């Protein structure tokens, strides 16, 4: 992967995240807020907790920080996969949003 490919793939991921959050807000009637600033998305929940997602260009990774822990994802076979758990970004992210929305 080169830097141009990485930017394209992470831009697609960020668009997917924003769509997920918009749908989650509408489906669950929750007032969460998110802000994208460059290569960082910060999601703020009504209970004060946050999820932060950012890209790590030198490593070609995406990092996800939740209230409980942090995850590092590598792009493998067209999916972002956690390098510790082998779970997909989508799975960990959706579980984390649900958990922090319910705190």
Residue 19 has pLDDT above 90, yes or no: yes
pLDDT of residue 102: 85
For residue 103, the model assigns a pLDDT of 64
Looking at the chain, the whole-number percentage of residues with pLDDT higher than 90 is 93
Residue with the bigger pLDDT between 35 and 102: it is 35
Q: Which residues of 36-66 are buried (b: 16+ CB within 10 A; e: fewer)?
A: eeeeebebbbeeebbbebbbeeeebbbebeb
């Amino acid at each position: 992967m080169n830097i141009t490919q990485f930017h394209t793939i992470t831009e697609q991921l960020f668009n997917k995240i924003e769509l997920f959050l918009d749908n989650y807000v509408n489906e669950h009637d929750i007032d969460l807020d998110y802000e994208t600033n460059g290569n960082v998305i910060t999601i703020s929940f009504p209970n004060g907790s946050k999820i932060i997602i950012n890209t790590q260009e030198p490593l070609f990774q995406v990092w996800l920080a939740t209230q409980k822990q942090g995850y590092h994802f590598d792009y493998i076979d067209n999916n972002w996969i956690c390098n510790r758990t082998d779970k997909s970004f989508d799975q960990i992210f959706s579980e984390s949003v649900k958990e922090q929305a319910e705190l």
